[in-house]
Structure 1
Amino acid sequence: MRRLPLCATVKDEPAMPIRSRPTVSARLSSAFVALSLCAATALPITALSSAAHAADGLVSDKMILLMRHGVRPQTDSKELAKLSPKAWPTWDVADGQLTAHGIQAVKALAPWQRGMLAAKGLVPAEGCPVQGTVFGWANRSVQRTIDTGKVLLATMFPGCGLGVGYATAEGPDPLYDASETELGAIDVDQAKEAILKAAGGSFDGLKARAAPLLKELDAILGCETGAKGCPLSAQDWQIDVKEGEGDKPASVSLKGPLAKAGTLVQVFLLQYANGFPADQVAFGKASTAADIIRLSELRQLKYDVGNRVPYLAARDASNFLNQILIALAIDPTRDETAGGPPNAKVLLFMGSDTQQAEIAAILGLHWHIPPYLDDETPPTGALSFERLHDAEGKAYVRLGFTAPSLDQIRTAGPIDAAHPPIQAISALPGCEAETVEGACPLETFLTLSRPKLDMTAVAPYAYE
């Protein structure tokens, strides 16, 4: 891996990154974690914020954003074609890449994003940030995360040369995809048991909840009878086990109609967000934002027995959450970050809805962002960890989720103070009695969060 200067320009990544799986040899000891996370939680005011922002109440001194990439097409057109006899719309880029419209929607979000950070005193309202105060990092094996981060930072800070770094080692990045490496490898039996437990002991309840929407989905696909694989609603619900091979760990996931439905309704959402004409969104059968959001219940159900299953989430995302906890715990006057990310005021992690859902599952977080369904993770939506302090220097953490509306993404129209994205505070379970202005005391936040990490899936990580 390579460490970028905090405001470095990043070279373009090949369109089709090579994927292989490295062995993670160094596991993080409990002693390392204790050292990393034991930084003082009463932070010195002098280094935190200008007097202009030292008003009564809590004052921000760090913002960590875990943002989903912008609009993309489906990731596997061949598999998608098997799910309907109809012809699917044509996209302007290859599977899984950031679209031209997606770029415009990211650019539309950037002014609000900068204005929000400037209002908190974390970046200047104009000109370039001080060297080292803004840091971006993306998932090397998912090109759209790199591209989204580059567009966002270049638009927020034009001419400043800011970019996003990424791991240069081949194979899955253990920060973003730990379960695809030795570090976060799962136990097959434990994973199967965890999925069934999340489903309520059997799939009967999920089947009943999904049945009406699956029938509607069959009608949208033109898949009620006859065609191969139809109807979707009649297919078997199974737990799929892919055995490990070489340095590729085993994987366990739900297989059948709900898994396919979750993919389909996300494709419909992306079609709408990308600005496709109404007759090309869900084949013209569910072409409004309200339709898309209603059908997205199928994707939420899929996540309930997938990325939000506590065991699976902890195996895949404990390493990522550990980095966030280290970043929050580090005294801003210190240069040494005890193995965490660079000690910047603004940390932008470009990732996917996978990491957002998994970290939320580990911490027990939820967010209410109507008209989206609860816990939705739209393109360019961001899970945020904001560190603040009071007049005495006591530190706090405020959790939240922010996302443009579907129509804001579809039109790529202005997003600013007059037309803000949808914003919500997310409460950390167990901290309700100590919450101030929606924020949990940092010491309490760390005390509640650390035990939720699966320390066997945590290791040192180098941003280089």
Structure 2
Amino acid sequence: MNNNQYQLDKVVILSRHGIRTPLENTIAFLEKSSPLKWPSWDHAYGYLTTRGGALEAFFGHYLSQWLEQKNINIEPENPDIYVYANSLQRTVATAQFLVNGAFAGYDIPIHHKYTIEKMDPIFDPSVKDDSPELKQAVLNDIEEADKAGAIFKNLAPAYQMVSDILEYPQSQLYALYKCDFADIPNELYFKKNEEPELHGPLAIGICAVDAFLLQYYSAFPKDQIAWGKITSREQWQQLIQIRNHYIDLVFHTKTIAQHISKLLINKIDDLLHNKQHKVNLLVGHDSTIAALLGALDFAPYQLPNQCENTPIGGMVIFQRYRHISSGKYFFKAEYVYQSFEQLYTGQAIDINNPPQHYQLQLEDASVNNDGYYDWADFAKRLNINE
């Protein structure tokens, strides 16, 4: 690619928060799913951990070096960067660590709208309209995505693995359902002002897999990570398919993705039209990223050296380039994230030991010979809510 002919003009970075503790309602639920005692944590539930903060600082340092390579230099007296986070501890803290790692000592405010632990509507995946028509459209999307029940059939080995790890047949949940893990009924929970959920083995599975992943990323002793029952990368890959499919079905399918991404798309559009800041950082959640990529018609992808489709701490970087000789604008989007191994080892990342970069593709659009999309192919997608 002839990158010397393109100057990075503006970036909007959408980051998922870094490593956190499990959510409190998840822990309460998981205690019913297994007779085993879950490991304790040294931070409040749902909070960014100290290790998570350190890894975000490393990521911020790398980000500043990457921007410098792209000839975007942030000046201490007038930092050309805008930062906006969801008003939860883990997202605000992630933004703080990213900025401190990138530009320590610079006067860069971290914007958030509410007091800590109040969800900002821009990042809120809750349903705004629970009409029967919208719910049916979402169900139709899920049915279309899961052609002939293929997803649920393919997840059978992963469901059995979760059941075995949890010792589910000895749990309170088994006493409630009185059936095998995979046979727990699936049901879409769809209520106004609440997050949509796909109740059943997929929901129980994602809660368990999330807890195991957080233990792994936090470098718990091996006998405490899923009680020592996950011993291979292949097991992780199979288990994390539960997580990926849940996120895809509940947040990435078209109707719900467009429904919950409207405010975020408007925010990104505003930032791209605002000439004040070249660098814009937004910090949200996995649901934020999955829904946005679904709403903007990005192609399906598989991230190299990662099992998660929306890895913790990972960020999507929307990039606008100006072609130097013609003055035309072009677009590129990359998923930049730490590999499964980088997260586990907690190693410092920088320009010499970089995170993973994966170029995302737009559906129904073509790249030029240098690998860039015409800016109009992306910009028109931002106006889907008009």
Residue pair 2:34, 2:170 contacting (<8 A) in 1 also: no
Amino acid across the alignment from 1:111: H
Residue pair 1:427, 1:438 contacting (<8 A) in 2 also: no
After TM superposition, the structure 1 = structure 2 runs for residues 428-439 of structure 1, keeping only pairs within 5 Å, are 428-432=362-366, 434-439=367-372
Equivalent position of 2:319 in the other structure: 386
Moved more, 383-392 or 320-329: 320-329
Q: CA deviation at 1:290?
A: 4.6
Aligned match for 2:102, one of 139, 146, 156:
156
Q: CA offsets, 1:298-342, max 9 Å, x none?
A: 111112320112111111112101221333345x4xxxxxxxxxx
- Secondary structure class of the residue paired with 1:423: strand
Cα separation, 2, equivalents of 1:415 and 1:110? 9
Q: CA offsets, 1:417-457, max 9 Å, x none?
A: 2221111111111221x43533212123223x145x334xx
Equivalent position of 1:60 in the other structure: 8
Amino acid across the alignment from 2:272: L
- Note closer, same or farther for the CA distance 1:436–1:95 as it changes in structure 2 (3 Å cut): farther
Cα separation, 2, equivalents of 1:271 and 1:212? 22
Aligned match for 1:356, one of 278, 289, 293:
289
Equivalent position of 1:306 in the other structure: 250
For structure 1, the residue ranges without an aligned partner over 5 or more in a row are: 1-53, 333-342, 456-464
- Secondary structure class of the residue paired with 1:198: helix
Q: CA deviation at 1:202?
A: 7.8
- Secondary structure class of the residue paired with 1:166: coil
Aligned match for 2:67, one of 117, 121, 127:
117
Equivalent position of 1:139 in the other structure: 86
Cα separation, 2, equivalents of 1:322 and 1:270? 32
Cα separation, 2, equivalents of 1:154 and 1:290? 36
Residue pair 2:185, 2:200 contacting (<8 A) in 1 also: yes
After TM superposition, the structure 1 = structure 2 runs for residues 100-249 of structure 1, keeping only pairs within 5 Å, are 100-124=50-74, 128-129=75-76, 131-140=78-87, 142-168=88-114, 172-177=119-124, 179=126, 184-200=128-144, 204-223=149-168, 225-230=169-174, 231-242=180-191, 244=192, 249=193
After TM superposition, the structure 1 = structure 2 runs for residues 244-263 of structure 1, keeping only pairs within 5 Å, are 244=192, 249=193, 252-263=196-207
- Note closer, same or farther for the CA distance 1:130–1:294 as it changes in structure 2 (3 Å cut): farther
Q: CA deviation at 1:411?
A: 2.2
Cα separation, 1, equivalents of 2:266 and 2:96? 25
Equivalent position of 1:461 in the other structure: none
Equivalent position of 1:93 in the other structure: 43
Equivalent position of 2:271 in the other structure: 327
Q: CA offsets, 1:78-119, max 9 Å, x none?
A: 112112111111111011000111112112222211110111
Moved more, 348-357 or 263-272: 263-272
Aligned match for 1:317, one of 261, 282, 305:
261
Amino acid across the alignment from 1:92: D
Q: CA deviation at 1:158?
A: 1.4
Equivalent position of 2:330 in the other structure: 396
Cα separation, 1, equivalents of 2:130 and 2:73? 41
Cα separation, 2, equivalents of 1:252 and 1:150? 29
- Note closer, same or farther for the CA distance 1:168–1:350 as it changes in structure 2 (3 Å cut): same
- Secondary structure class of the residue paired with 2:250: coil
- Note closer, same or farther for the CA distance 1:92–1:163 as it changes in structure 2 (3 Å cut): farther
Equivalent position of 1:82 in the other structure: 32
- Secondary structure class of the residue paired with 2:4: coil
- Note closer, same or farther for the CA distance 1:202–1:439 as it changes in structure 2 (3 Å cut): closer
Equivalent position of 2:348 in the other structure: 414
- Secondary structure class of the residue paired with 1:400: strand
Cα separation, 1, equivalents of 2:69 and 2:232? 35
Amino acid across the alignment from 2:239: L
Residue pair 1:85, 1:221 contacting (<8 A) in 2 also: yes
Instruction: Using the aligned pairs only, state the percent identity.
Output: 24
After TM superposition, the structure 1 = structure 2 runs for residues 441-452 of structure 1, keeping only pairs within 5 Å, are 441-447=374-380, 449-450=381-382
- Secondary structure class of the residue paired with 1:430: coil
- Secondary structure class of the residue paired with 2:188: strand
Cα separation, 2, equivalents of 1:357 and 1:173? 17
Residue pair 1:199, 1:205 contacting (<8 A) in 2 also: no
Cα separation, 2, equivalents of 1:101 and 1:307? 28
Residue pair 1:154, 1:162 contacting (<8 A) in 2 also: no
Equivalent position of 2:177 in the other structure: none
Residue pair 1:154, 1:163 contacting (<8 A) in 2 also: no
Amino acid across the alignment from 1:311: T
Cα separation, 1, equivalents of 2:62 and 2:309? 21
Normalising by structure 1, report the TM-score: 0.75
How many aligned positions are there? 374
Q: CA deviation at 1:258?
A: 0.6
- Note closer, same or farther for the CA distance 1:437–1:260 as it changes in structure 2 (3 Å cut): farther
Equivalent position of 1:377 in the other structure: 310
The CA RMSD measured in Å over matched residues stands at 2.4
Cα separation, 2, equivalents of 1:294 and 1:163? 41
Residue pair 2:159, 2:181 contacting (<8 A) in 1 also: yes
- Note closer, same or farther for the CA distance 1:96–1:188 as it changes in structure 2 (3 Å cut): farther
Residue pair 1:368, 1:424 contacting (<8 A) in 2 also: no
